[in-house]
Amino acid sequence: MIRLENISKSFEKNEVLKGISVEFDEACTNLVIGQSGSGKTVLLKCLIGMLEPDSGDIWYGEDRFTALDPDQQRTFRQQMGVVFQGGALFDSMTVEENIRLPMDFFTDWPREQKLDRVNFCLGRVQLPGSNKLLPAELSGGMKKRVAIARAIALNPKYLFCDEPNSGLDPQTAIVIDNLIHEITLEFNITTVINTHDMNSVMEIGDKILFLSDGLTCWEGTREEILRSDNKVLNDFVFASELMKKFK
């Protein structure tokens, strides 16, 4: 479980997060939604320690993440897997080397065991046999899947995804969503996803946090979102005619 207590973050005079408090549950796909500029990415960066909140605390289980120094935070991050918006695969490395990198750094496994784990992860994201490909040879969807494979290489307790299906066709986006959801349940991971995609919200959103103007505007489940009478939320989620009809 991840608990945020009163997280605030400003950049000069621009207050991006204004006292966010929320709990992200274990073995759940927790979605953070909101308009562009609502503070989703800043919140995610605070969660993974890329940004330091101005005030407030972040707890991972019983560990107070915000009390750790940068070196301790870096060590703690070995328990996290992060999928970046563009995949962030290392261009000069093959798919296999990308997935093996965290194992090279943080395990003493023999070469064969690492290769087995790479193959397992690639199999899990439905990309078996792509070990020797370079990121430049992969499609957008494949890059995201390799990024997920790399994120789960060391069995993380926490998985963070920043807009995992942006730039993908709807069919591939659903594949990626379902993959993240299955992995979350299979490995009992606490997953936090930043997304704009309403399909994701309706498909895999076990818990949803809606941010607006740096504040928690609404939180609940995907069933509750349909019945919500929060105007700001409804304007965002049911913006299109199709979604209005769906509601």
- Which residues contribute to the site for another protein (CB under 8 A)? 48-50, 71, 74-78, 80, 82, 84-86, 88-91, 101-102, 104-106, 160
Three-class SS state of 158: strand
Q: How far is the CB of 104 from another protein (least distance, A)?
A: 6
Our CB check for another protein shows the closer of 158 and 236 to be 158
Q: How far apart are CA 83 and CA 141, in angstroms?
A: 12
Three-class SS state of 19: strand
Q: How far apart are CA 155 and CA 217, in angstroms?
A: 33
Q: How far is the CB of 48 from another protein (least distance, A)?
A: 5
Q: How far is the CB of 227 from another protein (least distance, A)?
A: 36
Q: How far apart are CA 169 and CA 95, in angstroms?
A: 22
Contact 85, 166 (CB under 8 A): yes
Q: How far is the CB of 81 from another protein (least distance, A)?
A: 8
66: alpha, beta or left? (left if phi > 0; alpha if psi -120 to 50): alpha
Q: How far is the CB of 88 from another protein (least distance, A)?
A: 4
Q: How far apart are CA 173 and CA 139, in angstroms?
A: 13
Our CB check for another protein shows the closer of 95 and 237 to be 95
Our CB check for another protein shows the closer of 156 and 205 to be 156
Q: How far is the CB of 71 from another protein (least distance, A)?
A: 8
Our CB check for another protein shows the closer of 83 and 237 to be 83
Q: How far is the CB of 46 from another protein (least distance, A)?
A: 13
Q: How far apart are CA 28 and CA 206, in angstroms?
A: 6
Contact 35, 212 (CB under 8 A): yes
Q: How far apart are CA 192 and CA 134, in angstroms?
A: 28
Our CB check for another protein shows the closer of 62 and 105 to be 105
Tokens of 83: 């999928």
Tokens of 207: 């818990």
